[in-house]
Chain A
Amino acid sequence: MNLSRRELLTTFLGAPLALAACRESPRRFPDGDIVGQSAELGHILRENRTFQVPADNWETKRVAIIGGGIAGLSAAWQLRRDGVDDFVVLELEKEAGGTSSSTQGPIVGYPWAAHYLPVPFKENVDLISLLNEMSLLDGVDVNGEPVGKEQFLCREPEERVFFKGRWYEGLYLHAGESDEDKRQYAEFQRLVDIWVNWRDAAGKRAFVVPVEQCSTDVEFTQLDKITFADWLSQNGLTSERLHWYCDYACRDDYGLKVDQTSAWAGLFYFCSRVRKSGVESQPFLTVPEGNGQFVNHFLTKVGDKVRRSQMVVSVVPTENGVEVITLRNGELRGIRCKDLIYAAPIFTAPYIIRGFQNDAPFNAAAFQHNAWFVANLQLKDRPKPRFAKDFPLAWDNVIYESPSLGYVTATHQKGIDYGPTVLTYYYPMCHDPVGRTTLFNYDWKQLTDVCLSDLSRAHTDIYELTTRIDIMRWGHAMISPRPNFIHSGIRERAIKPYRNIHFAHTDLGGIALFEEAFYHGLRAADVILVGDRG
């Protein structure tokens, strides 16, 4: 192995694997490309130029929505549900969807990021109405809680973890745990249960989706001041496998390590989807294309309003509304609207909104995002188990010793258990303080090498099986709930409209979840609708 390959693998997968891979001769590479995400396009905005739109290139809309991700599409869906038709959705990329994007393959679709949604609690009536509209639910149970249709509830086996040459069922590694590990795991569950059951004076839960519904009791908000790793050690939870489990949870949901994540956010992950102590976490709704199913559904409802490849270069607040300037194929166009829903990442606001920096109600740069790369591997067949009794291929497949998050099997939910499949491999750049820069320093071949070297630990036949790998580099994948962010007060300020600009993005929840994006999309739309009714 040459020096640069060793350096690459050390950077992404750690020294031991780099040394192991060193002994392997270079292998044949599959086909593939870097896809999506026009980083160069977005970065033009950094120049902060002024733009002159020709006079006859202006049009007028009641509402403009910037961003065709879940937040923007949810806002559009809500507007149309309430009879507003005079709006437009402006999407930067060639396809709408944001981090819920997906691709339809020959066998099944596959996701580029978000790939499941927990069944909501009965209180989340708006989300339930969406799920009913999509026929994903099978009515309610005796307690009035919504029930997912069987074919959409994540099929067993849900997860498995690869450790020292073997796959084990579940995410938490029970195999080989000591009595002390067991005690600590039970203690951790006990602490989680306390928060699950806790209600404040107003009857609010400590942790619930959306974040806006959570109790703001200081007993909890102070958890936001320390890291989740600190919280674990304060509670005497030092078990290595428990630490790994919590670290995995943080990397998976937030793209942060356990010592980078706010303790509040860490506990949110474990508590917010459990109805009451002793019951299982809410089941997941999933389909092969992941949350692409929501994008596709929204597009059937509001697709006619979505304009793609529209780079919004400038937003100018005026006396009676907002002017939006877009650039497409070198042509500048303007939209005058009464209200603007800003459903793009919040950190971009100062680059786009004219004058925002002068009287900014909040520091947009505090909405930090992390970087990821996601690879979709087309396999001509399933990896062969190394021995007959190994735990079989699951939906989510995690490698214990890897900084990646492992992979999700696209065909799993459809019951397609033989033959070709697509694996979606997730890698958050949280191990690297300059992860975004590092990520964009590497090309397709190098990232493919990382992905295959990583997976070959568990699947020695991955090189022969993989026919194609496409990779998406997410420079600004999702909001990072580091300590002192969620309960610092900044979100509350950003939720308030800035002139006629209504921010609506999952960033505002402080946590990158479909439910947050949906909630803020609807909230922004509702504010406008209420204003109309005066």
Chain B
Amino acid sequence: MRRPSLLFLNVIIIATCGLIYELLAATVSSYVLGDSVTQFSLIIGVYLSAMGVGSYLSRFIDKDIAERFIEIELAVAIIGGLSAPLLFLSFAYLSYFGIVLYTLVFIVGTLVGLEIPLLMRILKDKLDFKELVSRVLALDYAGALVASLLFPIFLVPRLGLNRTSLVFGILNAGVGIWATWLLEPMIPTRKLTLLRVKGFIVVVILAIGLIKADSLTTLAEDGLFVDNVIYAKSSEYQRIVVTKGKVGYSLFLNGNLQFNSFDEYRYHEALVHPGFAAFNGDAKRVLILGGGDGLAAREVLKYKTVEQVQLVDLDPAMTQVAYSVPALGELNKHAFEDPRVQVTNTDAFVWLDNVSTEPFDVVIIDFPDPNNFALGKLYTTRFYNLLKQKLKPDSAVVIQTTSPLIARQSFWCVMKTLEASGYTVKPFQTSVPSFGIWGYALAKLQPFDTPTKPPENVELRFLNNETFASLFEFPSDTSKPDFDLEINRLDNQALVRYYETEWRRFEQ
């Protein structure tokens, strides 16, 4: 054996990589399944016990120890290196994510557990037992410290989970290949070449993964989104992505931010409560159009007087995302499990046209911004005329109507469209840091006074008596433009054109 001291360097890298894989698995699972205490605890437990299993199994390896050691190192490199992308993909596409997760953790743990005993046996003839144990174990634990410091400080913020995983896989394989030189005297030449070829293949696979990381859809989203992608699914209608960052979870539809858990309460309180404030009496029947994330429903359900909530959202994958990503279920307080809530998955335009129901007291409309014609129809005079059939004279409607700052013409086009459809409209706005200045319409079929206070006896984090009235004030840069705007109709789709022109200025 050449230069045994260098082999100790191997120990520290093996230890670092092993712990990194463990941390990756724990982080991914706590991102996607939530409840990080449980996830970290379980992953560490499974991983350590698997290492014990590996250590135990090492006794069954009698021959060609050096060769086995390198093979195991390469196996750890490929499995551990691909672990994070594999976990994300399996979470997005498989229903039995837990099985994949713990199997993966167990396999990596077992392999890592095999490594140290084998290495100690390789080194046993070079050092006395006392020296061997003290050096190997010291370095092993030192490696763990390196990993635990690097992971949160440098790796996750700079590389992201997928790249960290792939980079450490490559490092791991590189060390394996290096060991073929260090252990050259202990391995027959023919087998040495074979080992190096295997090592080379592992490095190439992981390197391809690293290079292709951007072109693979899911991995590409790592580049697209600042935060880590913890859920990604292409439904029949849209691409749904959930990310987790420092300040919370974000939901994206076709790349457009729908909310960030850090400040979504501002958006949703402003979306829901002005409608209740404007309705005279206790609202019993509430209609939510869009709002598949369940956050508007969460606000609505704060009212004990509400007896029935009909939610119409196009995409079943959207209304089920709360089940798929438990963190979102916690965020919407499991609104869809409330017996008062009825979820219907269909296009709201078609639903209004075809389904007759009793009228509703409050209607909350929370569609994505009108960035295509299929969405643009949901902001037309035709749509608002169809909606009338679901309203009583006193019913209150609140509609999210994009940013009056970024898309001023679009915002006021919706107000004009509502007025043209026979509604009295009170536009209002608020600030949602992750969106910017955001706008809404409060509308009724009859003239009404602008509400001055939020409803009483409702727990609110954002709205209060002091500032509520100011929602309805518009500074000069968001106020109604002094030139004529078109009314958005099915046969002109004027809004989609305004919107596209206004938002295009912000695209690269």
Contacts and interface: CB of A to CB of B under 8 A. Distances in A.
Interface of A: 150-151, 153-157, 283, 392, 414-419
B333 interface: no
Contacts of A283: 491
Interface string B4-48: 000000000000000000000000000000000000000000000
Contact of B382 (A151, A157, A418, A419): A151
26 contacts: A150-B381, A150-B385, A150-B490, A150-B491, A153-B490, A154-B491, A155-B377, A155-B490, A156-B373, A156-B490, A156-B492, A156-B496, A157-B493, A392-B373, A392-B374, A414-B350, A415-B350, A415-B353, A416-B350, A417-B347, A417-B373, A417-B377, A418-B237, A418-B314, A418-B374, A419-B236
Nearest to B497: A156
Interface of B: 236-237, 314, 347, 349-350, 353, 372-374, 377, 380-382, 385, 489-493, 496
A156 B493 contact: yes
Given A156-B490, A283-B491, A419-B236, 4 more contacts: A150-B382, A153-B491, A417-B373, A417-B374
B490 A151 contact: yes
Contacts of B353: 414-415
Pairs A-B, 5 closest by C-beta atoms? A156-B493, A417-B374, A153-B491, A155-B490, A415-B349
Nearest to A153: B491
A282 B470 CA distance: 45
A429 to B, nearest CB: 33
A157 B373 contact: yes
Contacts of A156: 373, 490-493, 496
Nearest to A155: B490
Nearest to B349: A415
Nearest to B348: A415
A154 B373 CA distance: 13
A438 B370 CA distance: 48
Contacts of B492: 156
Contacts of A416: 347, 350
Contacts of B491: 150, 153-156, 283
Contacts of B314: 418
A155 B374 CA distance: 11
Contacts of B374: 392, 417-418
B402 to A, nearest CB: 19
A418 B373 CA distance: 12
A106 to B, nearest CB: 14
A301 B311 CA distance: 41
B354 to A, nearest CB: 9
Contacts of B380: 150
A415 B381 contact: no
Contacts of A419: 236
Contacts of B489: 150, 153
B372 A415 contact: no
A170 B37 CA distance: 58
A282 to B, nearest CB: 12
Nearest to A419: B236
B281 to A, nearest CB: 33
A156 B347 CA distance: 18
A478 B381 CA distance: 38
A418 B490 contact: no
Nearest to B377: A415
A414 B353 CA distance: 9
Contacts of B490: 150-151, 153, 155-156, 415
A160 to B, nearest CB: 11
B494 to A, nearest CB: 9
A419 B350 CA distance: 12
Nearest to A416: B350
A156 B373 CA distance: 8
A91 to B, nearest CB: 32
A418 B236 contact: yes
B347 A418 contact: yes
Contacts of B493: 155-157
B236 to A, nearest CB: 7
A414 B382 CA distance: 11
Contacts of A151: 382, 490
Nearest to B386: A151
Contacts of B382: 150-151
A157 B373 CA distance: 7
A136 to B, nearest CB: 13
A415 B350 CA distance: 7
A385 to B, nearest CB: 11
Contacts of B236: 418-419
